[in-house]
Structure 1
Amino acid sequence: MSNVTVIPFSTTLLVRDSCLCLHAQRAARALARRFDNALKPLGMTNGQFSLLMSLNRPEPPPMGPVAQLLAMDRTTLTAALKPLQKKGLVSIEPDPRDKRGKRLRLTEAGMQLLVSAFPIWESVHADVERGIVSGNPSRLRQDLLDISR
């Protein structure tokens, strides 16, 4: 005879219906699929779009702030950069102020891809915002930012 405690199915339903983490994961996956499908004709994913956009700055940023912005560790960022670097969209250069550090530069090809991708992102993003039933996408953004801090 087992002494294993059983969680009742009603608890499973409670978690299914109320778990913020589950709902955030489901929403994130649905959004990711939506943007991935829209950006697919350009040969990029929503994650690659976000990464390239994060490099669109007056000065090439160091890896740390980019990883922080994208909520990635540096190892994950390095892995995400490799295919973009292979395609010639990003260059990884020594930091002139700290030779141990790296700076991430959006190449001309990377910028051209962003120029093509931005109107697609803009259109899908507007559709997503229109679909927010509360009509308050700014509140949702703020709530998500608050949770991520």
Structure 2
Amino acid sequence: MNNMSSENKTPSVCNCINLRRASLVMTELYDKYLAPSGLNINQFSLLRHIDRLGPASVSDVALKMRLDRTTLVRNLKAMEQQGYVQDIAAKGSRSRQLTLTESGEAVLIAAGQLWDEAQNSVEQSLGTEDLAALTSLLSKVESMMP
């Protein structure tokens, strides 16, 4: 995690910078918890979405994750190379059908326990009420763009 002293953590006058800083800290925290699984939070989220959607196209996964296709394809390529994701679409099909492999399911289960620990850590640090308020505010921020 970032080793800045607390005196250097004064909020910026820029709301965007404050959100980006908080996002970086949260990403580092989840990555630290997930490290024993070999996944980072982006990879974990991708595997979890594919698992929950069942066989799904790249477009469906991108839409559900609210990511652009380029970012998704870049992350997906690594997951396929590691043997966690496979395309089960018929040969010649124009649309890929993504699903987890057995090793993808296994790493997702192991990482899921670590993710739960990260979730609990955040809730312990922020408290239930503040976490609910943060979630509500983040939803409002996300809805600012149509």
What TM-score comes out, normalization by structure 2 length?
A: 0.80
Q: Is the counterpart of residue 22 in structure 1 residue 21 in structure 2?
A: no
Structure 2: unaligned runs, 5 residues or longer: 1-10
Q: Is the counterpart of residue 132 in structure 1 residue 131 in structure 2?
A: no
Instruction: Report the residue type matching 1:37 in the other structure.
Output: K
Q: Distance in 2 between matches of 1:65 and 1:27?
A: 28
1:134 Cα shift? 7.4
Q: Is the 8 A contact 1:95 1:101 kept in 2?
A: no
Instruction: Report the residue type matching 1:48 in the other structure.
Output: Q
> Hey, which of these two has a bigger chunk of strand by percent?
1
Provide the residue aligned with 1:90 in structure 2: 85
1:120 to 114, 117, 131: 114
Provide the residue aligned with 1:9 in structure 2: none
Provide the residue aligned with 1:45 in structure 2: 40
Provide the residue aligned with 1:34 in structure 2: 29
SS in 2 for 1:33: helix
Structure 1: unaligned runs, 5 residues or longer: 1-15
Q: Distance in 1 between matches of 2:112 and 2:34?
A: 10
Moved over 3 A (4+): none
Bigger radius of gyration = 1
Provide the residue aligned with 2:135 in structure 1: 141
Provide the residue aligned with 1:102 in structure 2: 96
SS in 1 for 2:52: coil
SS in 2 for 1:56: helix
Q: Over residues 34-53 of structure 1, what are the superposed CA-to-partner deviations in whole Å (9 max), with x where a residue is unaligned?
A: 11111112211111011111
Number of aligned pairs? 133
Residues 1-80 of structure 1 correspond to what in structure 2 (within 5 A)? 17-57=12-52, 59-80=54-75
1:71 Cα shift? 2.6
1:89 Cα shift? 0.2
Q: Over residues 41-79 of structure 1, what are the superposed CA-to-partner deviations in whole Å (9 max), with x where a residue is unaligned?
A: 221111101111111126312212211232321111111
